[in-house]
Amino acid sequence: MSIIAVGISVLMACTPKIAKQDKVEAVKNESEMDKFISELMSKMTLEEKIGQLNLLTGGDAVTGTTVNSNIEQKIKNGQVGGFFSLTTPAKIRKTQEIAVNETRLKIPLIFGLDVIHGYKTTFPIPLGLSCSWDMDLIYKTARMAAQEATADGLNWTFSPMVDVSRDPRWGRVSEGNGEDPFLGAEIAKAMVKGYQGDDLSKANTIMACVKHFALYGAGEAGRDYNTVDMSRNRMFNEYMLPYKAAVDAGVGSVMTSFNEIDGIPATANKWLVTDVLREQWGFKGFVVTDYTGINEMVDHGFGNLQQVSAKALNAGVDMDMVGEGFLTTLKSSYEQGKVSMGEINRACRLVLEAKYKLGLFEDPFKYCNEERARTEIYTRENLQFAREVATKSFVLLKNENVLPLKKQGTIALIGPLANTKENMPGTWSVSTDLSKAISVKEGLENTLGSKVKVNYAMGTNLLDDPEYQKRATMFGRDIPRDNRSKEIMLKEALSVARKSDVIVAAMGESSEMSGESSSRSDIRIPQNQQELLSELLKLGKPVVLVLFTGRPLDLSWEDKNVPAILNVWFGGSETGNAIADVLFGDVNPSGKLSMTFPQNVGQVPLYYNHKNTGRPLEGAWFQKFRSNYLDVSNDPLYPFGYGLSYSKFEISQPVLNNSVLRSGGKITVEANVKNAGIYDGEEVVQFYIRDMVGSVTRPVKELKGFKKIFLKAGEAKNVSFDITEETIKFYDSDLKFVAEPGDFKVFVGNSSSNVKEANFKFE
């Protein structure tokens, strides 16, 4: 039975209830909050108000180059609003005691951390998790992460990261949900609801912070922190939906991005933070900068620290992360008339409101429960769930009758990623115990026991260049180098492979080859690993490439030469066990790509929902004076939505119950899905639409719905999707959200390229 089907009582304690909201009670509670905070602020000095806007780092998990000093005295002086990177009930209680016992107004602190894909129990990296296309599963990962994080003293997470990105060179694609705004929006809602539950004042819910607002994933050249420049029409139609979905889901806080928008850094962009976020979208929470985001505007050429701090506050930013620009300059800016008391009061009130909603004024120590820390973190039940989640994130990219493997004979396990616990959780797993992660070698041994002998050899180092390897294995993710010659290592690997029936090659990126500040200009598997793989293939034995990566890679050579490729991303705490589950058929893989894999880096950016040109390629590549390349086709290696199964699924032509959609009406699209294989399995049925003619040019295809269904071998089900006026709306040239009359196509299939179509009109 699925672990999800059994009683996860602790995990589900805060599942949102679908019930009629008591509006009277809500108004009463808000009135009480307003009264409480107004009375508190009437007692606060200017310095104390500014202090609430100051977020410092406790230093437990450094995620930047700056660390704050003289912390205890600053708390006593009322100069601190909150901390991040400080964990455990004991440390947090000690720090909170200073705030509530040794300051004039006894205002509690808020404590946050980058809880990105799990806390101690770690789930797959977000890009991998998004490939599950399973919103209930994703919701539960956030719920469990909140359960564990709050048990360790935290009440705020800097997640979800929902930046749309089409450039795999950017390392932080590993932390996001891929290239599609619709899928990203669905995940944003699930994550926010999972973290925040139905009541932020409960001790096992955590305030979410959607990031990075906005457009961080569109940096030029795929280089982290780089410039972004695009039209507002493209911004709203292709990038903004996931942020808005998080706001609509009630996210408590928003983090600004490092990049500029329309020439103005996001952290000082009033149009973005006030006009769009607050006024258009109705966001009621508080806005925090990214790590030293205010200070970094000096290097943008936007002014000195006092000037950029004032600009950030006036733009609508409420809290300054680490840089202390607010703390050190706002008083002077107020005295000089550069900022108003109204702006300071707004920011202070919003920070205090967050603390009130978390219940910190009622009980500042509600998250400091040593018993919860002992009993609710890294439990057997949590690990079992993490194992299941990992299996659902893996994407089978190729399989020429090699998988699933049989539990018999001997297996050669070869590669630099085969026996490293530390790299299994993936980047941004800042709180996990790396020593407890399950390596591929351990996972195979745990699953196979004495049934199958596993012969192991490293075969090659992660990278030939030792300095590059140092950069690629930071933060405790080291893979010890074998200083023997390449020839000796290869000879050993080939010897191990020759006496084995099947070769499992664990290769690709280390976990820190993706993530923040881990952009790559070459997105292939390192050459030395590819050379080893080539030699293994020459033996003529079945070879399975177990691919580790935090981004889409150029796998053109591997796809051509390797008979089976299973992309496991970085699967979290239980990676090794989950890999064994899938390799040996205990779990049928069901993951689908949330980001396109290019044929080579020269195609980047490459994404399914592109616009047509005035000279689109029609028919086979190559055609002169058409939009194509001389040396490679326009096609991706693996398209968005792609992923194989051990089963074969057949999806029928979609049937519409009406060919005309009218305002206020609905069309139902239905297709039959059959499992024509011999294995039970899950399929993701995907629904796309194309607007054939618009007042602005429209994409060739847009995801508008999906359903993940389970079918036994031979079973068939009908799957339906509804089309309403809302489904076909987009932002026009005036940024009005409109539905325009005209012709449309619908597509139903199991990837963005493998679809069948039908037509309708909107009148």
Give the catalytic positions in this structure. 290
Q: Which residues pair with 707 in a beta bridge?
A: 685
- Residue that the structure tokens 């300051």 belong to: 103
Give the residue among 115, 101, 109, 114 at the shortest CA–CA distance from 54.
109
Collapsing DSSP to helix, strand or coil, 400 comes out as: coil
727 C-beta neighbours (distance < 10 Å), count: 20
Structural tokens at position 664: 């206020």
- DSSP code at position 596: P
Give the residue among 58, 83, 118 at the shortest CA–CA distance from 431.
118
The answer to whether the beta carbons of residues 268 and 312 sit under 8 Å apart is: yes
Query: What is the spatial distance between Cα 97 and Cα 293, in angstroms, rounded to a whole number?
Result: 29
53 C-beta neighbours (distance < 10 Å), count: 28
Q: Note every long-range contact of 310-315, with CB atoms under 8 Å and residues 24 or more positions apart, other chains counting.
A: 310/338, 310/339, 311/268, 312/267, 312/268, 313/53, 313/339, 313/343, 313/344, 313/347, 314/268, 314/270, 314/339, 314/343, 315/267, 315/268, 315/269, 315/270, 315/272, 315/273, 315/274
The answer to whether the beta carbons of residues 298 and 304 sit under 8 Å apart is: yes
Sheet holding 755-762, edge to edge: 660-661, 755-762, 742-749, 681-691, 702-711
Give the residue among 683, 689, 678 at the shortest CA–CA distance from 650.
683
- Longest pairwise C-alpha distance within the chain: 79
How many Cα atoms occupy the beta-carbon half-sphere of 652 within 13 Å? Answer: 14
The answer to whether the beta carbons of residues 42 and 70 sit under 8 Å apart is: no
Tell me phi and psi for residue 534, to 5 degrees.
Answer: -60, -40
The answer to whether the beta carbons of residues 174 and 426 sit under 8 Å apart is: yes
Tell me phi and psi for residue 714, to 5 degrees.
Answer: 85, -10
How deeply is 564 buried, as exposed, middle or buried, from its count of CB atoms within 10 A (0-12, 13-18, 19+)?
buried
The answer to whether the beta carbons of residues 544 and 504 sit under 8 Å apart is: yes
Query: What is the spatial distance between Cα 706 and Cα 590, in angstroms, rounded to a whole number?
Result: 14
The one-letter code for the residue type at 718 is: N
The answer to whether the beta carbons of residues 161 and 116 sit under 8 Å apart is: yes
- Residue that the structure tokens 């002086």 belong to: 77
Phi-psi region of 541 (alpha: psi -120 to 50; beta: other; left: phi over 0): beta
Query: What is the spatial distance between Cα 158 and Cα 109, in angstroms, rounded to a whole number?
Result: 16
The answer to whether the beta carbons of residues 669 and 758 sit under 8 Å apart is: yes
